[in-house]
Structure 1
Amino acid sequence: MLLIYNKNTNPYFNLAMEEYLLKNFNEDMFILWRSESSILVGKNQNTLSEINLDYVKKNSIPVVRRQSGGGAIFQDLGNINFTFISCNNNSFSDFRRFTQPIIDLLKNLDINAEFSGRNDLLIDGKKFSGNAQYNYKDKVMHHGTLLFSSDINDVSDALNVKPIKFEGKSVKSVKSRVTNISSHLKSPLDVLEFKDLIMDYLSKLNSNNKFYTLNNSDIACINKLVEDKYSTWDWNFGNSPKYTLINTLKYPGGNIEFNINVEKGIINDIKFFGDFFGKLDVSFIENLLIGVKHEEKSLKTVLKNIPINDYLLGANCDILISGIMGSK
């Protein structure tokens, strides 16, 4: 098995790296990596219904869609990610097999970790690891998180959203009580020391395990994948399942209820209701927005030169866009 100790902390690069290694190597692999503050959403999720958009904007947090299913996660540099890629493997959903080395390592540190439910690892009933898998041809990619010293408040705030606004068939995240591994250690370690400990442990499990370092060609291919896919709106937001957003916004001119149908990230129907006044018919704006991406940049491009106050008295472009995007 090839062992890769990845030091890159760019979340777009790291997700692209997983796909590149999965599709271009024919050896079993184990990869350790960390990402700067970011949100990873599952393959089958509606991105907007999983994130606190205002918090994400305020803190400039990247949002990236991964290849695997499951729920949305927030990660920072206090979280360690591990990835197994197993070739000639038809045992999709065998989560215990890939998480057992982590459990065994923690038991060596006198931490009583256990596998729970479908894909979680717990310490004293609190979650410190969520896991997901993706199948590609005859390979299985298993990846998991390890909360070591993450900011638990950020985890909560970044994913704090009212899903009642959204209706659709996307997979919803399940919130759990969480804990950091560092809180349970008998002797203190920092996150990089713990990362080293994991890699050292895996390297000794099998004498055939050997280290591999990404070369310039690997990195160039990964960066191309970042540019073409993982950093794009189309992948991270536009790839969301069809959904309906229902939102109510109170503003100085009254109340507006937004009913929006979105498919492949594009608005295909939108209606405004409420007790607002306007000297011009608001249907003009509704028709203008059909076919526009459900994102702030595209909305602003369309609405920036429209006299919004003539259609919704007391409103402006920013107020209208915040309501369309689901903000209060």
Structure 2
Amino acid sequence: MRYYLNTQTDPAFNLAAEEYLLKSTNEDCCMLWRNHNTIVVGRNQNTLSQINPEFVQKHDIKVVRRITGGGAVYHDLGNINFTFIKVGEQTKKIDFSAYTRPILEYLNQVSVPARLDGRNDLTVDGLKISGNAQHIHKDRVLHHGTLLFDVNLEMLATVLLVNPEKYRDKAVQSIRSRVTNIRKYLLDHPTVEQFMEDLGRYMQKAYQAVLTRFSDDDLKQINDLAQKRYRQWDWNFGDSPAYDFSRSIRTPGGTIDIRMKVKEGTIQRIRIFGDFFGIDPVSDMEKRLTGCRHDHQSIKKILNAVDIERYIKDVTVDQLLHCMF
């Protein structure tokens, strides 16, 4: 087995590194890594229904889709991610216990009474410290998970807070679990870097893994994949399942009620209802927005190109945008 030392904190790079290793490595490997403030959504999820978009934009939080299923998770530099890739595994079954076992053994060794709870969570005293997911590619298995070491739990709760009444879809919804940090259970209170280094040494010893760094060619291919997939709106947002969206707000110009059908991240149909006043028919604005991406910048560009007052009196572009997310 190889143990990859990965000091990158760019989520697009890190998720690309996992996929690259899954499809190109010729031997088992493992990797520890961290992301700067990021929401990572599951492969089968509707991205917008999992996040608080205004908060995400305000705090410059990255949003990236992974290739594994499961729910949306928040990463910051207080979270450690672990990856195992098994080559030549002839299976079509998802098995979390086999891959979480070494992590549990390490945590128990440092006096953290963790256990596998439910289908894919590691918990301490009933509180979640780790979520896990898997992806099977041909005869290879990718297993990865989080370790909430010293995560900003207030940020975690806020950034994933979404009104479920806005979205109606068949995508997998994240389960909001009670969570806690590992660091509070450690007597010597190490830093996240110290804990990560110690866990890395344990994994190398447990698997007799060879410490490995990405070659220049590896880095080129990983960065190419990151640019092609994980930095693209089409993958992170547009690849969401079809969904219906609705939201109603009060404005100085009256009530605005927006209903949309969105497919592949694009507005297929939109209706704008309300008790507002306007000179021109609002259906003209609806036509302009049909075919537009359901994302802030694309919609704002269209709205800025028209005189909103002619359609909806006493309503600003920002207020109308607020009603569309």
Q: TM-score range by the shorter chain?
A: over 0.9
* 1:26 has 2:26 as partner: yes
1:53 CA drift (Å): 0.8
**What is the Cα deviation at residue 102 of structure 1?**
0.9
Q: Which amino acid aligns with 2:162?
A: V
| 1:50 alignment partner AA | Q
| Alignment match, 1:259 | 259
Q: Distance in 2 between matches of 1:38 and 1:180?
A: 18
Give distance in 1, aligned partners of 2:317 and 2:202.
Answer: 56
2:149 maps to: 148
Partner of 1:39: 39
Contact 1:259 1:271 in 2 (8 A): yes
Q: Verify the 8 A CA contact 1:92 1:140 in the aligned structure 2.
A: no
The letter of the residue matching 1:134 is H
CA distance in 2 between counterparts of 1:300 and 1:114 reads 47
Aligned to 2:285: 285
Q: Which amino acid aligns with 2:199?
A: I
Please state if 1:103 is matched with 2:111: no
Counterpart AA for 2:54: D
Q: SS at the partner of 2:132? A: strand
Matched-pair contact (CA < 8 Å) for 1:113–1:122? yes
* Residue equivalent to 1:217: 217
User: What is the CA–CA distance in structure 1 between the aligned matches of 2:277 and 2:26, rounded to whole Å?
Assistant: 64
Runs of 4+ deviating beyond 3 Å = none
Deviations 1:120-168 (A, max 9, x none): 0000110000000111111110000000011110110110111111001
Please state how far the C-alpha of 1:40 moved relative to its aligned partner.
0.2
Aligned to 2:9: 9
* Unmatched tracts of structure 1, length 5 or more: none
Q: How does 1:272-311 map to 2 (within 5 A)?
A: 272-311=272-311
* Distance in 1, Cα, partners of 2:317 & 2:56: 20
Q: Distance in 2 between matches of 1:281 and 1:17?
A: 50
Letter in 1 for 2:98: R
- Contact 1:56 1:158 (C-alpha < 8 Å) held by counterparts: yes
Question: Deviation digits for residues 293-328 of structure 1, max 9, x if unmatched?
Answer: 11111112222121111111111322222212x2xx
Tell me, yes or no, if the aligned pair for 1:45 and 1:170 is still in contact at 8 Å: yes
2:93 corresponds to:
92
Deviation per residue, 1:231-262 (Å, 9 max, x gap): 11101000100001110121110011100000
Deviations 1:1-28 (A, max 9, x none): 1101200011111111111111111211
CA contact (8 A) 2:151 2:181 kept: yes
TM-score for both structures, normalised by structure 1: 0.97
Q: Is the 8 A contact 1:28 1:85 kept in 2?
A: yes
The answer for the alignment partner of 2:240 in structure 1 is 240
Question: What CA distance in whole angstroms lies between the structure 2 residues aligned with 1:266 and 1:111?
Answer: 46
1:61-97 Cα offsets, whole Å, 9 max, x none, are 0000000000000010000000000111116311001
CA offsets 1:28-60 (integer angstroms, 9 cap, x no match) = 110000010110000000111100111101100
SS of the equivalent of 1:225 reads helix
**What pairs with 1:189-200 in structure 2 (closer than 5 Å)?**
189-200=190-201
Q: How far apart, CA to CA, are the structure 2 residues paired with 1:155 and 1:82?
A: 19
Corresponding residue for residue 74 of structure 2: 74
Name the SS for the 1:100 alignment partner.
helix
Q: SS of the residue aligned with 2:207?
A: coil
Q: Is the 8 A contact 2:92 2:136 kept in 1?
A: no
Structure 1 contact 30–83 (Cα < 8 Å) conserved: yes
Unaligned runs of 5+ in 2: none
Q: Does 1:183 align with 2:190?
A: no
Q: CA deviation at 1:225?
A: 1.1
What residue number does 1:226 align with?
A: 226
Question: Does the C-alpha gap of structure 1 residues 29 and 91 become closer, same or farther in structure 2, counting only changes over 3 Å?
Answer: farther
Alpha-carbon distance in structure 1 between the residues aligned to 2:68 and 2:28:
18
Identity of aligned residues (%): 44
SS in 2 for 1:170: coil
Partner of 2:322: 322
Q: What per-residue deviation string (whole Å, max 9, x for no partner) do you get for residues 176-224 of structure 1? A: 11010000012221111111111111111133x2111001111111111
Tell me the SS of whatever aligns to 1:237: helix
| Bigger mean CA deviation after superposition, 296-305 or 60-69 | 296-305
> Aligned partners of 1:55, 1:282: CA distance in 2, in Å?
29
Question: RMSD of aligned C-alpha atoms?
Answer: 1.0
Deviation at 1:109, TM superposition (A): 1.1
- Secondary structure at the aligned position of 2:99 is classed as helix
Aligned to 2:135: 134
SS of the aligned residue for 2:171 comes to coil
Aligned residues: 324
Q: Is the 8 A contact 1:109 1:186 kept in 2?
A: no
CA distance in 1, matches of 2:107, 2:292: 50
Q: Which amino acid aligns with 1:243?
A: Y
